[in-house]
Amino acid sequence: MLDDSNKPFFKWFVGGKTNIVYNCLDRHAETSRRNKLALMWEGEKGEFRSFSYFALRRETCRFANVLRSLGVQKGDRVTLYMGRIPELVIGMLACARIGAIHSVVYGGFTVEALHERLEDSHSKVLIVADGAYQRGKIVPLKSIADEALQRAASVESVLVVKRTGEPVNMESGRDMWYHELMVLPIAGNACHIEQMDAEDPLFILYTSGTTGKPKAILHTHGGFMVGTYTTLKYVFDIHDEDRYWCAADPGWITGHSYIVYGPLLNGATSFMYEGAPTYPYPNRWWQMVEKYGINILYTAPTAIRGLMRYGENWPNRHDLSSLRLLGSVGEPINPEAWKWYHRVIGKGRCPIMDTWWQTETGMFMITPMPCVALKPGSGTRPFPGVVMDILNEEGKPVAANEEGFLVIKEPWPAMIRTIYKDPERYVQQYWTKYPGVYMTGDSARRDEDGYYWVIGRVDDVLKVSGYRLGTAEIESALVSHPAVAEAAAIGLPHDVKGNAIHTYVILKTGIEKSDKLVDELRAHVAHEMGPIAKPDSIVFVESLPKTRSGKIMRRVLKARALGQEPKDLSTLEE
């Protein structure tokens, strides 16, 4: 089952033939689940749409035929850039059905982030929405994409999903409307499913690493399928009659694994909501839990902390008795937020599954199961079959309650296979510190009961409102502004967001510092990378602490900002 002849390029289910979409759709559409709801969706304005397994397969097939007619073939990359709408799910499944590799770019990213991902993946097709609703406003996704496309050459066709109906530029010969293509005779209801090898790529998903540009994490049809199916089934104990809501965004791994693939593989009914938790009022989520009878809710600590601020009256106005199980992901959940979630939302009845995992792991790795005794703030222990440890600098397991590097010691089915087009970086990034051991980039400790307590990243990755960002990306967005000579970004603790982004900027000679320039630089980062990357503060400085080899010492900046003494300054240049 496992082929480890070329470590760390592990293979799983070698020789197995499958297509994940067959198990997500056809398997159910041909049986008693044919009329069961696969996807329920509510828009920010309150519209409702739903798809039975039969209907979701039909829409997927139709769109897969459209993609084939545009010349998309097995192995081609297709980028999707949308808000949380059903067409994003249909688009991902349609790609997978014909063996194309999807690359979803989160709708909160903007021009340069999209451009970089289009270019690196060499995507042939971009599927984009005209816009997305966000807190009553419209994010002009198509015009952001137009700007990114001026910088990216590989894209031949742009398929535009009408969501807002706002006027957009349609470039003839390149841009086509999704709804017009979907009614053409080429979009038949049946679509031959591409037979894939278990190890054939399913998708790439860009995520931030320690240095440089975001890297494309590659997942496969076979292993990803087994990992997401199994973990969702056993951890969330999902049943046929459940209504399950993962409130993440499909543009991140949580959405890939646990909005799209995991639930469909399990034949579950999955709910997706387009908007923000507090719009127009802080009861929006609780209203929907009641309205749709949600049984399982999976979200991030930052959302809980954000909702907590508005007090208990908002949730208490709603009947939340349908809830049976709660989940948390994305960053350590502080015990205060855990207890509020447990008491106010779960009414003390619902266990909280605090799932630790990563884009690279594809599936839950450290997680409780409903039968496990919980401790607020701990994900308890590794999922069965997952072998993890906490090591010190020398690679020796640490004693109970000592902090160390969190590592994974044995391969697992849904693991990252490589960094797309950069296998060396894959080896270097994850497998070199301790040979044969996967470095997660997190630090953790293990208590006397063997429970894991994840502390946080030990590298230059930030978790801002649950979103994973690299200091390098924020810095390069700053430096792309004509006034900036050099920049450094660090994360500092923030009550709601987890991390707040603080930056230090050296201006080019002759440029005057001003509050106006601060605003301009913040807006520039939001334009290039996305509003989530907008620095909370910008401080103009004359120099930055660097090593003798010229690397910025962010830990020195961080210690200084926190009023601490920086440790070990031996490598600091004068």
The CB density around residue 393, as the number of other CB atoms within 10 Å, is 9
Member of 358, 465, 476, 503 binding ligand WTA (CB under 6 A): 358
Comparing CB distances to ligand WTA, the nearer of 157 and 440 is: 440
Member of 86, 223, 346, 441 binding ligand WTA (CB under 6 A): 441
Region from 1-9, 350-358, 422-430, 545-553 binding ligand WTA, contact rule CB under 6 A:
350-358
Member of 11, 97, 342, 468 binding ligand WTA (CB under 6 A): 468
Angle at CA of residue 83, ends 157 and 196, nearest 5°: 60
Member of 440, 465, 471, 476 binding ligand WTA (CB under 6 A): 440
Secondary structure (H, E, C), 314-360: HHHCCCCCCCCEEEEECCCCCHHHHHHHHHHHCCCCCCEEEEECCCC
Phi first, then psi, for residue 25 (nearest 5°) are -120, -60
Per rule CB under 6 A, is residue 498 in the interface with ligand WTA? no
Per rule CB under 6 A, is residue 142 in the interface with ligand WTA? no
DSSP state of 129: E
Per rule CB under 6 A, is residue 330 in the interface with ligand WTA? yes
Binning the chain into helix, strand and coil, the percentages to the nearest 5 are 30, 25, 45
Comparing CB distances to ligand WTA, the nearer of 168 and 363 is: 363
Per rule CB under 6 A, is residue 359 in the interface with ligand WTA? yes
Comparing CB distances to ligand WTA, the nearer of 305 and 481 is: 305
Three-state secondary-structure class, residue 212: coil
Q: Which of residues 184-243 bind ligand WTA (CB under 6 A)?
A: 207
Region from 66-74, 248-256, 341-349, 546-554 binding ligand WTA, contact rule CB under 6 A:
248-256
Region from 64-72, 219-227, 439-447, 498-506 binding ligand WTA, contact rule CB under 6 A:
439-447
> What is the secondary structure of 424-487 as a DSSP string?
HHHHHHHHTTTTTSEEEEEEEEE-TTS-EEEEEESSSEEEETTEEEEHHHHHHHHHTSTTEEEE
Comparing CB distances to ligand WTA, the nearer of 198 and 253 is: 253
Member of 39, 326, 329, 477 binding ligand WTA (CB under 6 A): 329
Per rule CB under 6 A, is residue 454 in the interface with ligand WTA? yes
> What is the secondary structure of 81-109 as a DSSP string?
EE-S-HHHHHHHHHHHHTTPEEEEEETT-
Helix (H) or strand (E) holding 252: none
Per rule CB under 6 A, is residue 379 in the interface with ligand WTA? yes
Least Å distance, CB 377 to ligand WTA, is 9
Region from 279-287, 329-337, 344-352, 380-388 binding ligand WTA, contact rule CB under 6 A:
329-337
Region from 153-161, 290-298, 335-343, 349-357 binding ligand WTA, contact rule CB under 6 A:
349-357
Give the burial class of 170: count Cβ atoms within 10 A of its Cβ; 0-12 exposed, 13-18 middle, 19 or more buried: middle
Distance from chain centroid for Cα 159? 23
Q: Which of residues 270-299 bind ligand WTA (CB under 6 A)?
A: none
Per rule CB under 6 A, is residue 251 in the interface with ligand WTA? no
Least Å distance, CB 103 to ligand WTA, is 15
Strand partners, 408: 388, 438
Could you tell me which residues come within 8 angstroms of residue 514 by beta carbon, excluding any fewer than 6 positions away?
Answer: none
Per rule CB under 6 A, is residue 491 in the interface with ligand WTA? no
Comparing CB distances to ligand WTA, the nearer of 492 and 518 is: 492
Member of 457, 481, 524, 554 binding ligand WTA (CB under 6 A): 457
Region from 99-107, 228-236, 328-336, 490-498 binding ligand WTA, contact rule CB under 6 A:
328-336
Least Å distance, CB 444 to ligand WTA, is 8
Q: Which two tokens stand for residue 405?
A: 């590097």
Phi first, then psi, for residue 289 (nearest 5°) are -60, -45
Comparing CB distances to ligand WTA, the nearer of 145 and 472 is: 472
Least Å distance, CB 398 to ligand WTA, is 18
Torsion, CA 54, CA 59, CA 60, CA 63, rounded to 10 = 160
Q: Which of residues 252-271 bind ligand WTA (CB under 6 A)?
A: 252-254
Angstrom distance (rounded) from CA 193 to CA 327: 34
Per rule CB under 6 A, is residue 357 in the interface with ligand WTA? yes
Member of 332, 362, 382, 535 binding ligand WTA (CB under 6 A): 332
Strand bridging mode 461-464 / 438-446: unpaired
Half-sphere exposure (CA, 13 Å, Cβ side) for 37?
15
| Cβ atoms of residues 516 and 487 within 8 Å | no
| Cβ atoms of residues 294 and 288 within 8 Å | yes
- Interface ranges with ligand WTA (CB under 6 A): 207, 252-254, 329-332, 354-359, 379, 440-442, 454, 456-457, 463, 468
